Structure 1
Amino acid sequence: MQTIRLGGVPEHFNMPIHLAIEQELFSNKDIHVKWVEFPDGTGAMNKALRAGKIDMAIILTEGITRDIANGNPSKIIQNYVSSPLRWGVHVDAKSAFNTIDELESKRVAISRMGSGSHIMAYVQALEKGWDTSTLELVEVGTVDKAIEALSNKEADYFMWEHFTTKPLVDQGIFKRVGDFPTPWSSFVIAATNDFIAEQKTIIKVFLQVLNAVTAQFKQVNEIEKSVAERYNQKVEDVQQWLSLTSWAQKQISEEELKTVQKRLLELKMIDNISENDFLLKKL
Structure 2
Amino acid sequence: MTTIKIVGVPEHFNLPWLLCLENDEFEAENIDLQWTNVPEGTGKMCQMLRDKETDIAVILTEGIVKDIIAGNPSKIVQVYVQSPLIWGIHVAANSKYKKLSDLENTKPAISRLGSGSHLMSIVNANNENWKTDNLKFEIVNTIDGAVEALTNQTADYFMWERFMTKPLVDKGIFRKIASCPTPWPCFVIAVREEILEKDPNIIDKILKIINNTTSEFKEIPSINKTLSLKYNLKIKDIEEWLSLTEWSQDQLSEKMLNKVQNQLFELSIIDKKVTFEAVVR
- TM-score of the superposed pair, with normalisation by structure 1: 0.98
In structure 1, the residue matched to 2:63 is 63
In structure 1, the residue matched to 2:161 is 161
Matched AA of 1:250:
D
State the shift of 1:28 in Å.
Answer: 1.0
In structure 2, the residue matched to 1:13 is 13
CA distance in 2, matches of 1:208, 1:194: 20
In structure 1, the residue matched to 2:259 is 259
What are the equivalent positions in structure 2 for 1:41-56 lying under 5 Å apart? 41-56=41-56
CA distance in 2, matches of 1:146, 1:131: 23
CA distance in 1, matches of 2:265, 2:117: 17
CA distance in 2, matches of 1:228, 1:23: 20
CA distance in 2, matches of 1:191, 1:264: 22
Deviations 1:180-238 (A, max 9, x none): 00000010000001111111000000000000000000000000000111111111110
State the shift of 1:7 in Å.
Answer: 0.6
CA distance in 2, matches of 1:26, 1:277: 29
Structure 2 SS opposite 1:52: coil
In structure 2, the residue matched to 1:278 is 279
In structure 2, the residue matched to 1:148 is 148
Deviates most, 268-277 or 135-144: 268-277
State the shift of 1:279 in Å.
Answer: 0.4
State the shift of 1:274 in Å.
Answer: 1.1
Matched AA of 2:278:
D
Stretches of structure 1 that go unaligned for 5 or more consecutive residues are: none
CA distance in 2, matches of 1:98, 1:15: 34
CA distance in 1, matches of 2:31, 2:162: 33
What are the equivalent positions in structure 2 for 1:105-254 lying under 5 Å apart? 105-254=105-254
Matched AA of 2:242:
L
CA distance in 2, matches of 1:62, 1:193: 19
State the shift of 1:50 in Å.
Answer: 0.3
Deviates most, 4-13 or 266-275: 266-275
Matched AA of 2:137:
L
Deviations 1:68-115 (A, max 9, x none): 010000000000000000000000000011211110110000000000
State the shift of 1:59 in Å.
Answer: 0.0
CA distance in 2, matches of 1:269, 1:168: 30
Deviations 1:143-188 (A, max 9, x none): 0010000000000000000000000000000000010000000100
1:88 to 2:88 alignment: yes
CA distance in 2, matches of 1:233, 1:116: 22
Matched AA of 1:241:
W
CA distance in 2, matches of 1:28, 1:172: 46
Identity of aligned residues (%): 47
CA distance in 2, matches of 1:84, 1:4: 28
Matched AA of 2:60:
L
CA distance in 2, matches of 1:32, 1:210: 14
Matched AA of 1:129:
N
1:268 to 2:272 alignment: no
CA distance in 1, matches of 2:23, 2:223: 14
State the shift of 1:24 in Å.
Answer: 1.0
Stretches of structure 2 that go unaligned for 5 or more consecutive residues are: none
Aligned residues: 280
- TM-score of the superposed pair, with normalisation by structure 2: 0.99
State the shift of 1:133 in Å.
Answer: 1.1
